[in-house]
Structure 1
Amino acid sequence: MTLISSAERNQLFESFAQDAFHLELKDDYSVPAEDGPYADWLRGVVDNSYMEPWTSMTRRVTGEGKSVRRVRVVTEPHTSYIQWEYATTSVNEDAGESIRWLSRSNLPGGLVLPVGGNDWWLFDDTLLAVGHFDEDGRVLGSELIEEAEVVAECVRVRDLLWAFATPHSEYKP
């Protein structure tokens, strides 16, 4: 399996035409760029400036009429990392991203998550970037998949979970 870096995956946001959707399934992400801001937040210091590259890109693509969406499937009660994500979600939404929440306990019965239960980005219902992580939760990279059957299953799961999930403005942990 060939993996691309997070930077290479982010380049996909320069070429998608209509919709980018992210399914998040982990209760903690050990992203090095977030280590400092997360540690600061745990101490009561809020500085979301590290999000500026993401929010700038999101503002640009949503300003072009494209959508950027995500569903966060989370364990309740939330881990401190998910509490931090919840606290910063308004920054994402202010930039134009739509985020919904779904308690892991409310996943539809019998649902089998595609691509081994890994997180994924789906671009324009044609391209998947499946996240892979090491045993410590650190990002290893993303696997690109264009196989029609796999993509179609992710489209089905996206639509199902989007309908089940609660918009951020209505979600109360």
Structure 2
Amino acid sequence: MTRAWSLLLLLGVAACQAAPAPVRPVSRAPARPAQAVPSEVEGAWSFGIAGGRCTARVAHRDMTLGITASAGQPANLSVTAPGRSLPAGRPVRLAFRGDGGSWELPGRTNGRRVASASLPPGEAGHGRLRDLLGGGTLRLRGAGVSAPALVLPDSGVSGRDWYACAARPAESAPPPAAREPGDES
């Protein structure tokens, strides 16, 4: 009988002890998803005029459009997309859509995540500058390009004032360097 009591005592003690804690798997921090490219970002305009050079910029942290214009010269456009894929040396197209019109310009990329293109001097280029200032959406298109569309708001009075600088005729540009008599260059 002592054996029976001993067995019952051991079973009773075992029943009173807490069950071992379940083994929990080690939780891993969720993997950070790849940074998604937003489909559109809205920029804000800023303008500058210095020494006959007119600059405008529509900036957002994910994409920026820069415009540089001088009297009688092609206007230069540069689009930067920090942290995005703009493969170096590749052809791209700058595609604009807005109330004033829709058009595309051929451009190229460089190794610094910048795409650039030029607007011709004269009425065709001036019309495209007016389109940009009036607001719309600018997209980069091309193989390997991964960038959001840049929404350009209407530039307002500041943009119209800036356009007066950018659209100056070539006659108001500084005169070219004087030539020596007999210089055929």
Q: Same fold (TM over 0.5)?
A: no
What TM-score do you get using the length of structure 1 for normalisation?
0.24
Between the two structures, name the one with larger relative contact order (CA 8 Å, sep ≥ 6). Answer: 1
Higher helix fraction: Structure 1 or Structure 2?
Answer: 1
